[in-house]
Structure 1
Amino acid sequence: MEWLGPEEWQAVRLSLRVSFWATLSGLPPALLAAYALARWRFPGKQLLNGLVHLPLILPPVVTGYLLLLTFGTRGPIGSVLQEIGLVFAFRWTGAALAAGIMAFPLLVRAMRLSLEAVDPKLEQAAATLGASRLWVFVTVTLPLILPGIIAGAVLGFAKAMGEFGATITFVSNIPGQTQTLPSAIYAFLQVPGGEHAALRLVAVSVAVAMSALLLSEWLARRAQRRVSGT
């Protein structure tokens, strides 16, 4: 990264930090949502499915504005969290929240497809031996869908790295605090002579995105072979 300047490298580091926490914090609720959509039958299932995929359909700026209204310091949730010292608006934590919400549908979809590919007879066989539902999930289901979870995490991480609209609307574009890779590229393109710096960051973004796609495809093929037993 010696060919990156201090401000560019700062944006890369912040993007990695934001994407890491966005992905990590999104995995548990994404797994729960994926399991509910793949295995459970309940009223409002289609509504849940729609809410999960809503960030993919809404303009990112709308998602960011809704986050600002909800998690801002005067929002219904943000005002409560502020009292305990947790602030999202115009902080890197808010960037992680926005990126995590935008990446959430990709996490859920990858896990759901993996769950639907698991043969229920394998879980039933474990249950007939006296294992509880939780133990069956931990010892049978989870190992089978682990490649799908990793593939979803990789795609979600890449999506979080490239998130711009929701992030800049919710946390603005503050160098060193909320300026991620896309925000830095946008900022460099607004000043004369910033094209070269923007181009270097574009190269980093393309490299990360392509690596994530290739890794995700490899993990998906591995998961398919593992489930099919080939």
Structure 2
Amino acid sequence: MTNSAVPRWIVVIAAVGAVFVLLPIVAMTTRVDWVHFLPLITSPSSRDALLLSLRTSLSATAVCVVLGVPMSLVLARTTFPGQRAVRALVLLPLVLPPVIGGIALLAAYGRTGLLGKTFEVLGVQIAFSTTAVVLAQSFVALPFLVLSLEGALRIAGTRYEAVAATLGASPSTVLWRVTMPLVLPAILSGAVLSFARALGEFGATLTFAGSLQGVTRTLPLEIYLQRETDPDAAVALALVLVVVSLLVVGLTLRTSGITRRSAL
């Protein structure tokens, strides 16, 4: 169904853009060995990588929610010196190459890192462990939640919170009874985006956590390794990741639609 307000040449360019995005995905499905698809994706290494990715991505999403919601509230509801600089630093992982993020995490939590030395004395090693995977995923995924939630808070405004405050509600009561229910769809949408980013994380994870089967080798790392030794397995696992990503995108669009309706 074509909108008469949109020139036809715009529709043509949009169609070219859609083909540009969809063609590689369709081409990849033609390379899948469907006869051996199930054995390829259920091998021990593939199963370990998938389960590890799901487990660490869920943990990273929880970290993003716990840290990201307060950060979004502070950025959207308060004013302080250097706020723009703080916002830029918080959103820096969005544009920072993931490998650089991994190097930064090593500098902070590695065995000779800023905090890693203290942890090493206590007998705790973070780098090249499952905890490192969660930290790497959280580092790159956190800005997605902060960005989406801060925008939703600004769109929602403060009128309902102001009314609750004039009726005698404490700041904590206003937060839990007014603000949080108001932006809950945005929190869910941001959490889904964070999960998707964590699930596809590669560079920071490889640099900071390494690639040890069952411990730090997530599904993207497994796909990369299989590409060199078993291309059919790599394509099959890539298709699994595409399907999971499609489900995540669909859930994100659904929660985004709820957010827009609630804002109206």
Select the residue among 94, 100, 105 that pairs with 2:138. Answer: 100
Greater radius of gyration (CA): 2
| Equivalent residue, structure 1, for 2:243 | 207
Whether 2:62 is the aligned partner of 1:24: answer yes
Shift of 1:227: 2.6
- What is the TM-score of this pair, normalised by structure 2? 0.82
Do 1:10 and 1:176's aligned partners in 2 also have CA atoms closer than 8 Å?
yes
Do 1:100 and 1:160's aligned partners in 2 also have CA atoms closer than 8 Å?
yes
Shift of 1:172: 1.0
Query: Which stretches of structure 1, 4 residues or more, deviate above 6 A after TM superposition?
Result: none
- 1:43-82 correspondence to structure 2 within 5 Å: 43-82=81-120
Across the two proteins, how many residue pairs are aligned to each other? 226
Shift of 1:57: 1.3
Whether 2:43 is the aligned partner of 1:8: answer no
Shift of 1:81: 2.1
Instruction: Give CA-to-partner distance per residue, 1:32-70, whole Å, 9 cap, x none.
Output: 111122111111111111111111111111110111111
Write the distance in 2 (CA, Å) between the matches of 1:115 and 1:84: 41
Stretches of structure 2 lacking an aligned partner (at least 5 in a row): 1-37
- What is the TM-score of this pair, normalised by structure 1? 0.94
* Cα distance change on mapping 1:119 and 1:59 into 2, 3 Å: closer
Whether 2:153 is the aligned partner of 1:153: answer no
Amino acid at match of 1:141: T
| Equivalent residue, structure 2, for 1:115 | 153
Whether 2:207 is the aligned partner of 1:169: answer yes
Write the distance in 2 (CA, Å) between the matches of 1:117 and 1:166: 33
Give the secondary-structure state (helix, strand or coil) at the position aligned to 1:190.
Answer: helix
Amino acid at match of 2:173: W
Amino acid at match of 1:226: S
Instruction: Give CA-to-partner distance per residue, 1:154-207, whole Å, 9 cap, x none.
Output: 11001001000010011111111110011000110122xx11111121111111
Shift of 1:12: 0.2
Whether 2:79 is the aligned partner of 1:41: answer yes
- Calculate the aligned-residue CA RMSD, in Å: 1.3
Instruction: Give CA-to-partner distance per residue, 1:5-45, whole Å, 9 cap, x none.
Output: 11101100000111011110121221111112211111111
Instruction: Give CA-to-partner distance per residue, 1:58-94, whole Å, 9 cap, x none.
Output: 1111110111111001112112123344322010110
Do 1:87 and 1:93's aligned partners in 2 also have CA atoms closer than 8 Å?
no
| Equivalent residue, structure 1, for 2:252 | 216
| Equivalent residue, structure 1, for 2:261 | 225
Amino acid at match of 1:47: A
Moved more, 150-159 or 23-32: 23-32
Whether 2:222 is the aligned partner of 1:184: answer yes
Write the distance in 1 (CA, Å) between the matches of 2:254 and 2:102: 32
Amino acid at match of 2:78: W
Write the distance in 2 (CA, Å) between the matches of 1:24 and 1:40: 24
Identical counterparts, % of pairs? 38
